[in-house]
Every structure is written in C-alpha cells, then in structure tokens.
C-alpha cells in the first residue's frame, strides 16, 4: 500500500508542476478513500524545518537559520489502526 501511496503522491506532484488541474477531483477522491482506510498522507512542502518533527528525515542544504522544506521526495504516511495513529513511513525531504 505504501508504494501505491508514494506513486499517487508523485503523480499529484507532477500534475501540479505541469499545472494540470483536471485530476484534482480524482486526487481528492483518492485521498478520501485513503482516509477511509485509515491512512493520512502528510506533505510538509513549504513548512519550516523542525528538528523535533520525527515524521520526516530532512537533508539540510545551506546555512539558513530557519530552513524551509523545499522538496519532498517521499511524503510522511500515518495510519490509524483502530487503536491510534502510527507513523508508517517517514517523509524524505530537502530543507534549505
């Protein structure tokens, strides 16, 4: 399942890079279905890098005092297994 979510994430990213908006509803639907299955996909793009956030593994570029996440190679994925949330996949990001 994680691989499928990663692929969806990449397709979504490519669509947005190419300004293709016709899949918007389809992505919304996919995320809805994923949520129904207990998955939450977190895309931290644009957020400040926070060393306390263990849901991502960051590669820090440059010497900024407040690095911003500028690229997300893999999203963070959580799953609610019925008893609570669990981090299933760490996000892989670049912060600069």
Partner 1 sequence: MGTINFGIDLGTTNSGIAKFTNGKVTIYKNPVGFSDTLPSIVAYKKGRIFIGDKARELLKATHLDVFSSFKRKMGTEHLYHIADTQEQKSPGELSAMILKELQSFVQDEKPQAIVITIPASFDTVQSNATKKAGLLAGFQQVVLLQEPIAACLAYANSQEQDQTQEKNWLVYDFGGGTFDVALVKINERELKITDHEGNNFLGGVDLDHLVIEQLFVPKIEEVLQEQNLFKKLITKENNFYAKLYYELLYKAEEIKKELSVKEVIHTELELNDGDHYIDFEISRTQFNKVISPKVDETIVLIQKLLEDNQKTSNDIERIILVGGTTYIPYIREYLRQVFGIMVDHSIDPTTAVMVGAAYFAGTKEIHADLIEINSDIQNSENQSKNSIDLKLIYEVNTQDNEELLVGNVLGDFDGFYRIIRKDGGFDTGLMSFKDKFSEFVKILPKQKNQFTVSVFNQNQQLVFEDNNVAINHGIYNISGQPLPNDICLEIDDNFGGTFLERIFKKNDILPLTKTIYKTTSKNFNVDVNDKLIINILEGKNGTFPASNMSIGYIEINSKDFPMNLLKGMDIELKFSMSESRDLSVAVYINSIDFEKKEVFNPHTKNINRKKFDEDIDTVIDAIENELSYVNTIDEADPEDISVLVQFKKIKDELFNIKFDLIEVDEDDQSERIFQLDERKRRALQTYDQIVRFRDVIYEIELYKNTKAEAESSLEEATARQKEQFQKIIKSEKVFLESNEKALIKRKTKELEQLCSDIFYQKEESYGSLYYYYKYRDLDEYNNPKKASKLIASGDKAMENNNFKEVKFIIHELYDLLKVKPKDPYEDTNGNLGLK
Residues that bind partner 1 (CB under 8 A): 14, 17-18, 25, 28-29, 32, 40, 50-55, 57-62, 70-71, 73, 76, 78, 80, 84-87, 90, 92, 94, 96
Interatomic CA distance for residues 80 and 66, integer angstroms: 32
Nearer Cβ to partner 1 (21/52)? 52
| 21 sits in which H/E element | none
Q: How far is the CB of 44 from partner 1 (least distance, A)?
A: 11
* Chain-centroid distance, C-alpha 31: 12
Radius of gyration (C-alpha) of the chain in whole angstroms: 14
Q: How far is the CB of 1 from partner 1 (least distance, A)?
A: 16
Nearer Cβ to partner 1 (17/21)? 17
Coil, strand or helix at 30: helix
Nearer Cβ to partner 1 (43/50)? 50
Interatomic CA distance for residues 11 and 39, integer angstroms: 18
């Amino acid at each position: 399942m994680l691989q499928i979510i990663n692929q969806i994430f990449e397709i979504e990213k490519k669509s947005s890079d190419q300004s293709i908006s016709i899949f918007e509803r389809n992505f919304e639907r996919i995320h809805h279905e994923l949520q129904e299955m207990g998955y939450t996909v977190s895309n931290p793009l644009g957020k400040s890098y926070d060393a306390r956030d263990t849901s991502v593994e960051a590669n820090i570029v440059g010497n900024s005092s407040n690095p911003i996440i500028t690229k997300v190679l893999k999203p963070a994925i959580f799953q609610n297994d019925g008893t609570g949330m669990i981090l299933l996949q760490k996000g892989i990001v670049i912060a600069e």
